[in-house]
């Protein structure tokens, strides 16, 4: 058992300012939410009390849970694609000079600087039934009917990866750039092949960056609701869309709160598991 020394405990003082902020802006709203989630919503009227209606509904209606798992699946897919596309870019950023790095950074962040809806309108022009890709493929005679490139999961994943890639690249780059080059060079001087250096030195050392990037992208993806609406033509449903619907169209805060807490708990568990895995891999 590790002995907790005072020196280490004293580091926790650094958490105090943020904790104060959170008490007002997060924990109190969270308590409101908790109370709400146990309230009853009947004939449009909310009764505060201790009812399990909302949780019962979520667990037994046969759809909310399904959508929840679909959202997890979608988010994992998005995270994986972000990692696969983002890692090489982060590697490149580490390897090029400062100016080129700045340009790459700008390009990576640029999708975030545009409004989500306009961005999606641009995607329609590229991926739509009479969009550029389909037009091109048809004029080349490769296909005879337009491919369904959007208004489905593909379109949603593509559009979300497009905008969230920066949340993968930046932490990856931050982690990669803290790795001392001499480690890799030492391995090379000992005759290791580039691939084995990457697998045995670079990749393990960049693990915190991978975890950070994946955490950010995964959590953000669990929250998407506007992109599925437009890029998925509403056919791809995520849990946040259900929450939105409960709030916007039915004013059913109790049910929305219960769903939000479900999301919070599930992601909390996933964060703890992923950091345990990280610790385990490290040791």
Residues 178-237 that bind other proteins (CB under 8 A): 178-180, 184-185, 188, 194, 197-198, 205-206, 208-209, 211-213, 215-216, 219-220, 222-223, 229-230, 233-235, 237
- The dihedral region occupied by 235, where left means phi > 0, alpha psi between -120 and 50, and beta the remainder, is alpha
Q: Does 255 bind other proteins (CB under 8 A)?
A: yes
Binding segment for other proteins (CB under 8 A), chosen from 48-56, 72-80, 134-142, 250-258, is 250-258
Task: By CB under 8 A, name the one of 78, 149, 157, 263 that touches other proteins.
Answer: 263
- Three-class SS state of 46: strand
Closest distance of CB 138 from other proteins, Å: 14
| Pairing status of strand 45-47 against strand 40-42 | antiparallel
Q: Does 69 bind other proteins (CB under 8 A)?
A: no
Closest distance of CB 50 from other proteins, Å: 19
CA-closest candidate to residue 227, choices 251, 252, 248, 244 = 244
Task: By CB under 8 A, name the one of 50, 98, 141, 142 that touches other proteins.
Answer: 98
Residues 119-138 that bind other proteins (CB under 8 A): 119, 121-126, 128-130
Task: By CB under 8 A, name the one of 56, 88, 199, 277 that touches other proteins.
Answer: 88
- Three-class SS state of 179: coil
Q: Is the dihedral of CA 187, 192, 193, 199 positive or negative?
A: negative
Residues 162-181 that bind other proteins (CB under 8 A): 162, 165-167, 170-171, 173-175, 177-180
Enumerate residues 6+ apart whose C-beta is below 8 A from 225.
238, 240, 241, 243, 244
Whole-angstrom Cα distance, residue 181 to residue 177?
9
């Amino acid at each position: 058992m590790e002995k907790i020394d005072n020196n280490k405990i004293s580091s926790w003082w650094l958490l105090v300012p943020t904790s104060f902020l959170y008490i007002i802006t997060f924990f109190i709203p969270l308590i409101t939410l908790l109370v709400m989630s146990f309230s009853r919503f009947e004939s449009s009227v909310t009764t505060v009390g201790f009812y399990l209606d909302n949780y019962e509904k979520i667990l037994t209606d046969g759809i909310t849970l399904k959508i929840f798992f679909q959202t997890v699946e979608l988010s994992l897919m998005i995270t994986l694609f972000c990692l696969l596309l983002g890692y090489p870019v982060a590697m490149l950023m580490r390897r090029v000079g400062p100016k080129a790095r700045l340009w790459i950074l700008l390009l990576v962040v640029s999708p975030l600087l545009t409004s989500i809806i306009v961005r999606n309108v641009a995607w329609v022009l590229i991926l739509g039934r009479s969009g550029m890709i389909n037009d091109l493929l048809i004029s080349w005679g490769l296909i005879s009917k337009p491919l369904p490139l959007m208004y489905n999961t593909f379109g949603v994943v593509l559009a979300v990866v497009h905008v969230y890639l920066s949340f993968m690249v930046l932490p990856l780059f931050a982690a990669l750039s803290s790795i001392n080059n001499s480690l890799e060079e030492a391995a090379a001087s000992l005759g290791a092949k580039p691939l084995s250096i990457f697998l045995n030195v670079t990749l393990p050392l960049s693990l915190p960056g991978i975890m950070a990037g994946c955490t950010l992208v995964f959590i953000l993806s669990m929250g998407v609701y506007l992109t599925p609406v437009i890029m998925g033509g509403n056919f791809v449903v995520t849990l946040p869309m259900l929450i939105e619907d409960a709030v916007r169209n039915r004013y059913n805060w109790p049910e929305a709160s219960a769903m939000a807490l479900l999301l919070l708990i599930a992601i909390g568990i996933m964060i703890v598991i992923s950091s345990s895995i990280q610790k385990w891999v490290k040791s």
